[in-house]
Amino acid sequence: MSRVLPTLLLLAACGGGDAADKEAEQALGFEWEGGEFDFTTWQVHDACLDGAMEALFMPGGPSVPQDFEYPVYIPSYSELPLSYDIDLREPFVGMPVTIEDVGEGWMEARGSVMEEVALGAAAYGDCVVTMTVDIDLLPVDANNAECEARVAVSDARGEDGRCPVYESDPCLVTLAITAARR
């Protein structure tokens, strides 16, 4: 009996990943494996500058989806929680995230902070802002996921006086994003 309890405890401690995968797969109805994904922004809702921030996230305009420059790793449920840095596209590189399983197939990241994001020299000079990002991600089949990213923009600062004045600080930009397995 003295060897049985430690063995059961070890199996329970090591088996959580499989249980997490199985629970998520039951909620989703398919198997989900981690991997590299191409992200695309399809829609922006800008509550910061009456649409002016849209150009930062969809530079081709609201009817032109914006592909991220770099692939993004989305983990399997057995890897969660997982902390790592992701690169999206300039100026959104080196963003720290912690992805967690929140049940029923959903993953989330909360409070990922980028301290100095340049708004664009042409319109805003040397102005930088802090962006805090929350992401909700749901795999929709074995090779695709849908995401909503909420970007809280705050602390506009620069020395040339060209920073925008927001109605609220922080103000919120919401992005609709899809992810396709590479």
* pLDDT at residue number 1: 41
State the Cα–Cα distance between residues 97 and 80, nearest whole angstrom.
12
pLDDT at residue 122 is higher than 70? yes
Instruction: Specify the range with the lowest mean pLDDT, choosing from 91-95, 144-148, 154-158.
Output: 91-95
| pLDDT band of 20, cuts 50, 70, 90 | low
Query: 4-181 maps to which CATH number?
Result: 2.40.160
18 falls in which pLDDT band (50, 70, 90)?
Answer: low
- Torsion sign, CA atoms 120, 121, 125, 127: positive
Average confidence (pLDDT) over 161-179:
92
* Tokens matching residue 10: 């070890």
| pLDDT at residue 5 in the model | 31
Percentage with pLDDT > 70 across the chain: 90
Please report, for the chain, the start and end positions of each structural domain, with discontinuous segments joined by +.
4-181
Asked if residue 119 has pLDDT above 90, the reply is no
Arithmetic mean of pLDDT over the chain = 86
The reported pLDDT for the residue numbered 7 is: 31
